[in-house]
Structure 1
Amino acid sequence: MKEEQTVCYTCPNENCFIKKHLHLEQMGQFILKKNSFVCKKTNQFITEDSPLQGLYFVCSGKVKTVKTGINGREQIVRLTTNGDTIGFRGFGTSKRYLIGAYALEDTVLCNFSNETMLEILQKVPEFTYALMLFYADELNKSENNIRKIAHMNVRERVIDLLLYIHRKFGQINGLIDIELSRKEIADFAGTTEEQAIRILSSLKKEGLIETVGKRIGILAIPELRTEIMEHKYF
């Protein structure tokens, strides 16, 4: 991993918790303590169950977070991009990361140590309140994902994933702006690689999506939304 200097005040990530609170005078002393570095594509920077080393914020790039399941198989639990926070589930009493994290492309990350984060939480109440709301929102998303897995069939889960990454990353030149292997799609949708390939092939034949290598483009968003409407997509 290569060290990289990033300046919070000129960072374009308006969704970053740190950037949102730079107007507070107390934050100035804390951003000087951060560590920024480049994590190359496919490299892992958080190992599941390893000791907590603070919170990570994505300055630029894309990251997948994974959780080990049955028979040691990793399942993707979250995809993150510019401004997102990583490692927050372990920040608390466990003192260990509950997930692993890999860069999906060359990614610039900012890390604030455990000690720095505790200082911020104790001295900047506005930041602490915002983080509490963030945890509540993430808990709600997790509960919704559990419900989806319980009630959606495999095709519906793949469609839900495609619509999610379309919302999260957008499309450039007709293709969603993230490159995921068929195995990664299967891991996120909670199915096998073979089933994921069959469903994507079927969606392509139906004219609902197109594929170019690992990239996927959505051609018919309303039709895909309709398929999962009963699961309250919105």
Structure 2
Amino acid sequence: MTSHIHCQNCSMAALCLPYQLDQDGMARLDTIIQRHKPIHKRDVLVNAGESLKCLYAVRSGSLKSYTIDDNGVEQIIDFHLPGDVIGFDALANSQHRSYTQALETAMLCEIPMSSLDELAEQMPGLRRQMWRLMSGEIYNSKQLLGTLNNRSAQQRLANFLTTLADRFKERGLSNRSFRLTMTRADIGNYLGLSVETISRILSALQAEGVIDVQNKLVNVLEPERLHELAQ
């Protein structure tokens, strides 16, 4: 049951807010966290413009964050995996700047901002972890911008796959065989490529023996070659 899952025994703790906290610190953080009920594929967790009340830590499943411009065009800005924290973009003005939607059934921990602010003042380690996570989010955004500006379509997709593989490895999962929870349209939107281009490059990489793709399952056959193509 979700009520029995705590920071102390969560497999994602090393990637999440409890990172580097001692047992007492974890227990104190655990007292303010609410275990969010499961959300299902296509459910919207937060809407752009909503007031910031909580941060959300992903315990299982995956989600995407996106913006919608004045013409109603969606732009995906991030994919969230277990251990990621959602909501940092709202800290500047206490309003969420993007929408976040589940790509599959996901379990989340809800962290009230009012309680988190108070606890962070008392626990420097927690404050440093928040800074660490926010810094990582900024760095990843800059990396994505560099990828979109300076790389070919094949390099963009190869970089996306290698980055995703690394993220799975960080979570104790296989970086050689993993399932894509996002659609090819989502990947294309994120990378600034058409669905046709994504499909063509995947087929080419498969023909070269770099990867094998079966529906949503990706097997990386030559990780070093994939990494070379991403550079």
Give, in angstroms, the shift of residue 111 of structure 1. Answer: 0.6
Check 1:188–1:4 CA distance in 2 against 1; reply closer, same or farther (3 A cut): same
Q: Describe the superposition over 1:56-84 as per-residue Cα deviations: whole angstroms up to 9, x where unpaired.
A: 11122222222335743323322222222
Cα-to-partner distance string for 1:98-139 (whole Å, 9 max, x where unaligned): 222122222110111121122122222221122223322322
Shift of the 158–47 alpha-carbon distance from structure 1 to 2, 3 Å rule, reads: same
Separation of aligned partners in 1, 2:133 and 2:81: 16
Aligned letter for 1:209? I
Q: Tell me if 1:36 matches 2:35.
A: yes
**2:104 aligns to what?**
105
- Report Cα offsets for 1:29-48 as digits up to 9, x if no partner: 55223221211123221112
Which residue of structure 2 aligns with residue 88 of structure 1? 88
CA RMSD of aligned residues (A): 2.4
CA-CA distance at 1:90 after TM superposition: 0.9
1:163 & 1:104 partners in 2: Cα distance?
Answer: 20
Q: Evaluate the alpha carbon distance shift between residue 121 and residue 148 of structure 1 in structure 2; reply closer, same or farther with a 3 A threshold.
A: same
Is contact 1:169-1:178 (8 Å) kept? no
- The corresponding residue for 1:16 is 16
Q: Return the offset for 1:142.
A: 1.8
8 Å contact 2:154–2:230 — kept in the other structure? no
Q: Retained in 2: the 8 A contact 1:60–1:109?
A: yes
User: Which residue number in structure 1 is paired with residue 68 of structure 2?
Assistant: 68
Q: Which residue of 1 aligns with 2:136?
A: 137
Alpha-carbon distance change, 19 to 141 in structure 1, aligned in 2, over 3 angstroms: closer
Matched-pair contact (CA < 8 Å) for 2:209–2:221: yes
CA distance in 2 between counterparts of 1:106 and 1:155 reads 30
Deviations 1:8-35 (A, max 9, x none): 222222222136425245x645522322
Find the counterpart in structure 2 of residue 184 from structure 1.
186
The answer to which of 171-180 and 82-91 deviates more is 171-180
Letter in 2 for 1:142: S
In structure 2, relative to structure 1, the CA distance for the partners of 1:123 and 1:73 (3 Å cut) is: same
Provide TM-score, normalisation by structure 2: 0.85
Structure-1 separation of matches of 2:65 and 2:175: 27
Residue 145 of structure 2 aligns to which amino acid in structure 1?
I
1:184-203 map, 5 Å? 184-203=186-205
Q: Retained in 2: the 8 A contact 1:183–1:193?
A: yes
C-alpha distance 41-19 of structure 1, shift in aligned 2 (>3 A): farther
Quick one: distance in 2 between partners of 1:133 and 1:10? 22
**CA apart distance, 1:95:** 0.9
Measure the CA separation in 1 of the matches of 2:148 and 2:196.
Answer: 18
Q: Percent identity?
A: 22
TM-score between both structures, scaled by the size of structure 1: 0.84
**Equivalent in the alignment of 1:155:** 154
Distance 1:143 1:19, change over 3 A: closer
Q: Which residue of 1 aligns with 2:228?
A: 226
SS at match of 1:77: strand
In the alignment, which residue of structure 1 is the partner of 2:214?
212
AA in 1 matched with 2:193: T
Match of 1:232 in 2: none
- Cα distance in structure 1, aligned partners of 2:122 and 2:230: 45
Secondary structure in 1 matching 2:145 = helix
1:160 Cα offset (Å): 0.8
Provide closer, same or farther for how the CA distance between residues 28 and 172 of structure 1 changes in structure 2, counting only shifts above 3 A: closer
Which runs of no fewer than 5 residues in structure 2 stay unpaired?
none
Matched to 1:133, the amino acid is R
